[in-house]
Chains A and B, each alone.
Chain A
Amino acid sequence: MTLLTVDHLTLTAGAKTLVDDISFTVAAGETLAIVGESGSGKTLSALNVLNLLPPGIARPAGTVTLDGTDITTASPASLQKIRGGAAGMIFQEPMSSLNPLQRIGKQIAEAITLHEKLPRAAIRARVLTLLREVGLSDAERRMDDYPHLLSGGQRQRVCIAIALANNPKLLIADEPTTALDVTLEKQILDLIAREQKARGLGVLLITHDLSLVRRYANRVLVMDQGRAIETGPTAAIFANPTRPQTIRLLAARNFDPPPPANDAPVILEASHLNVRFPILRGILRRKIGEIAAVDDVSLTLRRGETLGLVGESGSGKSTISLLLLRLIAFQGSVLLDGQDLAKLSKRQLRAIRARLQIVFQDPYGSLAPRLTVRDIVGEGLSVHARNLDRDTRNARVAAVLREVGLPADAADRYPHEFSGGQRQRIAIARALILQPAILVLDEPTSALDVTVQAEILLLLRALQQRHGIAYLFISHDLNVIRALSHKIMVLNAGKVVEAGNAETVFANPQAPYTRTLLAAAGL
């Protein structure tokens, strides 16, 4: 039975066409995944189903029929009955889709009372059932908690409970796990799949992550720049994609293992690293304990080698990157070229900083918005090579921009004129211009689309081969880690769980935690 039919839908903003003539259907009990990169129009297509389009976006053509009602012509009152009634929606960021000032039980109850008049006790009982159903442990007590007391995964469970509150027929999930760790991602999607089976739901899953699609969707619709370029059963599309964009999307996930690094000299040796944050309580801020963000971690890096640090959020992997750059205080020793970074004075440290550079995760936050690319990239030179004259400096900036694959005119533009991938290239150029021996890459690709991700990874690999830079590669994404790392270190709660050669760990994980991670990533 067809639940949702979208027919020749076109969405425009001013003169720009955002969604161009797409059609799809979702039947009861099936999952349709809409896949595409950011800006491909997949979220808009989903919002349109419940007529939740942001202002300024017009629908010049197309019809949307949901459970027998034409959404495009429905009155506001009947639309409100459908929203949260016949169709429930889950958003990407569970923290911002819950009201921080209301208890979660009340928020679920509100979803029910909007559609049904029930006595208070009955509502409470139903909220409780829902919370148990979505697997929130200790539901009785938890229903009186505020959202900030829950973890990200628990919050998303609450959002699912709200979406399911009125026995919908269709569930729209817009990137429901993008903000979550891999193991949680699996739990949440398994939950959605279980509910789907139990209730016979039609699910519209919006995502950019193809490994999720392969595991959870019956059919796929691939979108590119507002157009539906390919649609069909999941297995068929994965086995034999016809359009170049789809092939590129799929190829972006399948990397060859990195070329092996020969036995090179050790350039960085960090031992017994510890970072502790005090837990303070009471009015006097008495120290009652410590949290170990990094707990006795030791690592070595060889020339031209990549060490992959894997872990979920809170595992201390980013803390290690800040620590190695001495941007936070720590105990332990970090030997770089035989000098202990922990013991250097500020002045000595400044000289050695050129050897050790970092690229951050967020390409939007890591470039100063008010400086030109030339100023950003050339800043390292103005610190470490002060006596360069202007022409030489400009030439070196131009050379490094060319090396990371940016157009020649990039130097005089501002960061906001570039896309996420290009910004990440600028950030790499900034680190590269000092010809560092070690580059710390803190989730450099996780804010990027998959195809852009692949391009950046290829660039990083080429740079490593050309310059023999050692990478400390930090990521939660095992696919990405696998593409670049020679060695792997798995972190959990600040401790090293497993370490070894990449191939060995992937082929034969020892620690149970590593196995969970690999299973969650579908590897």
Chain B
Amino acid sequence: MRRALTVIHALGLMLVVFSVAYVIPVATALIYADGTLLLDFLLAMVWTVAAGVLMWMLTRRHKGELSIRHGYLLVVTMWTAMPVFATIPLLLVIPDLSFTDAYFETMSGMTTTGATVLTGLDTLPPAINIWRHELNWLGGLGIIVLAVAVLPLLGIGGRQLFKAETPGPMKESALTPRIADTARSLWVVYVAITLACIGALKWAGMDWLDAVCHAFSAMGLGGFSTHDASVGYFNSPLIEFVMIVFMLLAVLNFSTHFLALRAKSLRVYLHDAEAVASLVLILSSCFGIAFFLWWNDVYPEFLTALRHASFNLVSIATSSGYASVDYAQWPIFAPLWMMFLTAIAASSGSTGGGIKMMRTLVLVKQAGREFLRLLHPAVVNPMKIGGHVVPNSIVFAVLGFIFLYFMTIVTLTFVLLISGMDFISAFTAVLASVNNCGPGLGTVGPASNYQGLTDFQTWVCTFGMLVGRLEIFTVLILFTPHFWRR
């Protein structure tokens, strides 16, 4: 119990920091001279600060060093508590919104999933829209720092590998001052690319509000949009192209971006085995799917096919979840292949979800090792990624992670099937939630959203998003008896 109190102490502080995020919607409300919204957001801010201060004050006797166990608990409580407070403005402004739906929406934002239960997005007040998108952006920021600086220390499912693979300043393993440095440099890169994205989208033809909102959700690979028709609303190849570029940037490891910026050289990307694999896989899939669609006469012209295939495939594969057309109508191979890419294509240390390319590489190489071992029983062939040897302990951790990942998907799919959903909808809803992608197929496809789900199904998907975002182990470890044993 003492452990929980120490964590609550830290969480209180985090909430106070989080309340700073309300500044952006408050400013938006001011710009659009929306008095009631301004009050609502200020109220939400006050409540959050008050709750944070209260938690902090009440537990100040339990202030102490955070150990690794505290780390798991803190990360999970942070990712569950912040969406709770983030629902306040939504509940205040949107009438008839249940807490279940509001929490799904904010969780979807903070986990950069981008699935929504709201319709009539076009008519939502600007401040609310910007708040939803800001959650995407903050979630992305949080996950990069978490993935690069914190999770490796917890050693989850081969996470150490990602740290070992990050060259330069991230190589240190000391827990204390380096994390702050690392986090700061990543923030700078993230903010810089976001600003560039806002500028590019404005230039491509969006108004300022749309540009900011879409830049926020694109960088977080969230996929929230200010329009019910998503990016299809703009019907502009230029906007789609700009978004493809920035989604591809966001799906790469941000420490690689940092190194590339510092070295002012693109060669850095070539040395990142993950980045190369991700980009090759995504880009070749674009052409493949475009050809497939053209071949099947979905689109009469190859270039049209390429345009729609590229945007939707990049959007889904990077786990963003925008749509420009209803790709659920395409022959089933194409959308399923896109869902498959979601699971593997994102780099570690990016804002994308799923297994991550690094673990995929480990799996593929492990399979190769097994073949070699069968042919040459005496062989010694350590796994190497990017020229570095990966210790077996990490390989086991990755295998364990993959097992849990599949079990999570299977179990949650069964739960949704029990609740009465059809198979394709249940399976893709779970896949889209756990991979933090957003839209699935069937009733949760790109043309509709998660509004039609029952409360129970909504909670299952909410849980799926949280588990997927926090790399499964982090959440499930809290359910093991050993965690709570002294």
A binds B: no
Interface residues, chain B, with chain A CB atoms under 8 Å away: none
Interface residues, chain A, with chain B CB atoms under 8 Å away: none
